[in-house]
Amino acid sequence: MPSHAGASLVHAQTLAIAMARRCGLSALLALVVMVGAARDACATGGYYTEAQAQAGQTLFGAKCAICHGDNLQGKAGPALAGQQFLSVSQYQQLNADYLYLFMSKQMPQNAPGSLSKTQYLDALAYILKVNGYPSGKQPLTADNKRLTQIKIEPTGTSQQSER
């Protein structure tokens, strides 16, 4: 009987190793898919269209600059561009989805949630542009899976004019 128990133990260990390998491969595959999706955003040339960023700049000037400054440098409201903004955002692990949700529920301060989904996305596209994120052929959408992949962190190519 001991040899039968030993064989069962070896079989169980072999089965456990095979399952661990499958789980490991599944986890690796999931990681590759996530990295690929993030890379696809850049491979298509960027995260938003130039038209969105232009519309966002116009909207920002009309609705947001009074608090956040003409160059997103901050005034009564916090800065939305530059190394300090990006460093704090990176430290807090913010992503574009967080910014979009916050903006769409809390901004503008005198009329929270009063803009359309398109206007909030345009403003976000403008913020991304000023912070050095590239434009492309695909418009920025409210797809939170895609937005969560856009980490707000220093890119080294901020377009904020220093004053």
SS3 annotation, the chain: CHHHHHHHHHHHHHHHHHHHHHHHHHHHHHHHHHHHHHHHHHHCCCCECHHHHHHHHHHHHHHHHHHHCCCCCCCCCCCCCCHHHHHHHHHCCCEHHHHHHHHHHHCCCCCCCCCCHHHHHHHHHHHHHHCCCCECCCCCCCCHHHHHCCECCCCCCCCCCCC
Per-residue pLDDT tens digits for 53-90: 999 999 999 999 999 999 999 999 999 999 989 999 99
Does one domain contain both 106 and 59? Answer: yes
- Total count of residues recorded for the chain: 163
- Do 31 and 70 share a domain, yes or no? no
User: Which CATH number does the domain housing residue 55 bear?
Assistant: 1.10.760.10
Is the same domain home to 29 and 80?
no
Q: Let me know whether 105 and 119 are in one domain.
A: yes
Residue numbers of the domain that contains 3: 1-43
pLDDT digits (tens, 9 = 90+) for 10-63: 555 565 555 545 554 333 333 333 333 444 444 457 999 999 999 999 999 999
Shared domain check, 136 and 56: yes
Answer yes or no: is 137 within a domain. yes
Number of domains, the chain: 2
Quote the CA–CA distance of 48 and 120 in Å, as a whole number: 13
95 plus 130 within the same structural domain: yes
For residues 58 and 36, membership in a common domain is answered with: no
pTM of the model: 0.70
80 inside domain: yes
Q: Please give the pLDDT value at position 41.
A: 46
